[in-house]
Amino acid sequence: MVSSDHIWSILAEVSDPEIPVLNVVEMGIVREVLISDAGVEVTITPTYSGCPAMKTIETDIAEVLDEYGIPNYTISTVLSPAWTTDWMTDEAREKLRLEGIAPPQKGSADKGLLMGRLRDVKCPRCGSTETRMISQFGSTACKSLYQCASCAEPFDYFKCI
Amino acid sequence: MTQLQQFNYTIRLADDALILGQRLSEWCGHGPILEEDIALANIALDYIGQATNLYKHAAQLDTQKRDEDALALTRMEQEYNNILMLELPNGDYAATIMRQYYYTSFYLLFLDKLKSSNDAFFSGFAEKSIKELRYHVQHASDWVKRMGDGTEESHKRIQEAANQLWPYVGEMFGMDALENELANAGYAVDRALLVDEWKKQCTALFDEATLAMPTEAWHHKGGREGRHTEHMGFLLAEMQFMQRAYPGAKW
Ligand SMILES: [Zn+2]
């Protein structure tokens, strides 16, 4: 019988189609791996309800499991508990920053959001906090568009949910 | 509480999400500025995703065993149960934004209550969707303020939009025998209980935006019974075209 550690390490080879620098395990998209006599059960969760990458992620996971000859697996999707940027590891946040995407701040609840208070977002290029939001919605649902006043660089901010 | 009642309730929520998502997606490529084009496309995608989750759930409850695509794309007009406001043509950007504000500020309050549903699917669905709705409400509120407290022209347009859409907001809070029974069973939300808080929030935003709260007391209804405006048929004709022309098409 295969071990769940082995399955997790295989799944870490699947990159997020929209943020290829991260894999689906680091993103927190893979929620559970269950091994039983019936086979392997992988549970995933979408980042946003309308995330168009979910179908691709499911196909990519199936492909890599086939490649490693894992028989009898199922991939199911759950909505609860709802995905949060808090599940992203420190390592994943650093990878985002190096890619030029400001990582999400910790504490997803973002209580100030409805009051229009935005937290300081650090420029991923120069580290300045003299940044401003240009648009709440960026290239994908999970990102906002910002610009740095210190180095003038426009950048994506991975917003908290 | 019967399975048919659960199915009908799920379809109401699914139709609201799908029809709003369809309307918003019409802005794709036509937004007033690039950032707004992208914002509305992203927001539309959230609703279409929420609709997919709801139709999948409805499919499990459907005694006719239709799948989510068949439910979303092959029913007749009278079988759709969305509220009328969401099917109205987009109008100018002020009208789209005002509809977004009226609806999303209501829907966030609604989801917050749905989170306590004794049905595991609905509590999970609400928990997930709330995170998206917070951003939608903020987006709409920002624009209501900017337009209301902006130029003479923007103020005039957003006030007109607020007045014209007002007779449609009543339906958001409408309860009937089905929803009363499901709400009493702890499954659904009592919409009528949300009116006061919603009006309070709306009044506060309108004050800040220098807008006047509309006063019209008469409200349209009929969407929940499948009686739609003359715009619905055209919306469905476009949305259903592919599945009607090429039944079962996949790509
Ligand atoms: Zn900078």
pLDDT at B105: 98
Rounded to an integer, the average pLDDT of A78-104 is: 91
The whole-number pLDDT of residue A115 equals 47
Q: Is the pLDDT of residue A91 over 50?
A: yes
Q: What is the pLDDT along chain B (251 residues), one digit of tens a residue?
A: 999 999 999 999 999 999 999 999 999 999 999 989 999 999 999 999 999 999 999 999 999 999 999 999 999 999 999 999 999 999 999 999 999 999 999 999 999 999 999 999 999 999 999 999 999 999 999 999 999 999 999 999 999 999 999 999 999 999 999 999 999 999 999 999 999 999 999 999 999 999 999 998 889 999 999 999 999 999 999 999 999 999 988 77
Chains A, B: CB pairs < 8 Å: 83
The per-residue b/e assignment along B171-187, b for 16 or more CB within 10 angstroms, e otherwise, is bbbeeeeebeebbeeeb
User: Which chain B residues have a beta carbon less than 8 Å from that of A81?
Assistant: 124, 127
Position B251 in a domain: no
Q: B137 at the A interface (CB within 8 A)?
A: yes
What is the number of helices (H) and of strands (E) in chain A? Answer: 3, 7
Task: State which residue of chain B sits closest to A46, comparing Cα positions.
Answer: B128
CB contact under 8 Å between B132 and A49, yes or no, is yes
Half-sphere exposure of B104 (CA within 13 A, CB side): 29
Is B48 close to A50, i.e. CB distance below 8 A?
Answer: yes
Question: Edge to edge, what strands does the sheet with A30-36 contain?
Answer: A30-36, A39-44, A73-77
Would you give the distance in Å from CA B170 to the centre of its chain? 13
Q: Highest mean pLDDT: which of A42-51, A81-90, A141-150, B185-194?
A: B185-194
Which ipTM score applies to this complex? 0.84
Q: Given pLDDT bands bounded at 50, 70 and 90, which one contains residue A113?
A: low
**Could you tell me what percent of chain A has a pLDDT over 90?**
60
Q: Where are the domains of chain A?
A: 4-83, 86-158
Question: Chain A contact for B221, CB < 8 A?
Answer: no
Q: In terms of residue numbers, what domain contains B64?
A: 3-245
CATH number at residue B133: 1.20.1260.10
Q: Test B138 with A135 for CB contact under 8 angstroms.
A: no
Candidates B50, B121, B142; nearest CB to A49: B50
Of B45, B48, B124, the CB nearest to A80: B124
Query: Would residue B134 count as lying in a domain?
Result: yes
Q: What is the identity of the amino acid at B7?
A: F
pLDDT tens digits for B127-151? Answer: 999 999 999 999 999 999 999 999 9
Cα-flanking dihedrals φ and ψ of residue A53, to 5°? -85, -10
Query: B42–A140: do the CB atoms touch at under 8 Å?
Result: yes
Q: Which residue of A136, A139, A160, A161 is the best one to mutate when testing the B interface, meaning the one whose CB has the most B CBs within 10 A?
A: A136
Q: In whole angstroms, what separates CA B59 from the centre of its chain? A: 20
Looking at CA atoms only, how far is residue A100 from chain B in angstroms? 20
Judged by CB atoms closer than 8 Å, whether chains meet at A116 and B142 is answered as: yes
SS3 A7: helix
**Nearest Cα to Cα of residue B109 among B169, B46, B24, B41:** B169
pLDDT at A2 over 70: yes
Alpha-carbon span B152 to B145, nearest angstrom: 13
How far apart are the CA of A113 and the centre of ligand 1, in A? 23
Least CB-CB distance to A137: which of B42, B53, B127? Answer: B42
Contacts of A83 in chain B (CB under 8 A): 128
B212 within domain boundaries = yes
pLDDT recorded at residue A114:
46
The whole-angstrom distance between A82's CA and the closest CA on chain B is 5
Lowest model confidence (mean pLDDT) among A31-40, A44-53, B91-100: A44-53
Fold of A4-83: GMP Synthetase; Chain A, domain 3 (3.30.300)
How many beta carbons lie within 10 A of that of residue B131, not counting itself? 22
Whether A7 contacts A42, CB under 8 Å: yes
Supply the pLDDT for residue B87. Answer: 98
Mean residue pLDDT of chain A comes to 88
Asked whether the predicted pLDDT for residue A63 surpasses 60, the reply is: yes
Say how far apart CA A110 and CA A157 lie, in whole Å.
Answer: 14
Is B43–A137 a contact, with Cβ atoms under 8 angstroms apart?
A: yes
Measured in Å, residue A129 CA sits from the centre of ligand 1 at 8
Is the model's pLDDT at A102 over the cut of 50? yes
Mean pLDDT across A72-98:
91
Closest partner CB to A161 (pick from B42, B49, B131)? B131
Element (H, E) at A63: helix A54-67
| B48 interaction partners in chain A (CB closer than 8 Å) | 50
When divided into structural domains, chain B yields a total of: 1
Q: Measured between beta carbons, which residues in chain A are less than 8 angstroms from residue B121?
A: 79
For β-strands A131-135 and A143-148, DSSP reports them as: antiparallel
- Which tokens sit at A72? 């009898």
Instruction: Name residues 97-136 of chain B within 8 A of A (Cβ).
Output: 120-121, 123-125, 127-129, 131-132, 134-135
Question: Phi, psi (5° rounding) for residue B160?
Answer: -60, -45
CA dihedral B84, B87, B89, B91 (to 10 degrees): 70
All residues of chain B having their beta carbon less than 8 Å from the beta carbon of residue A135 are: 35-36, 38-39
- For residue A35, the tally of other CB atoms under 10 A from its CB is 15
- By the 8 A CB rule, do A52 and B45 touch? yes
Smallest Cα distance from B218 to chain A, Å: 30
A89 pLDDT more than 90 = no
pTM of the model: 0.92
Q: Output the pLDDT for position B190.
A: 98
DSSP E strands in chain A: the ranges are 30-36, 39-44, 73-77, 101-102, 131-135, 143-148, 154-158
Confidence of residue A110 (pLDDT cuts 50, 70, 90): low
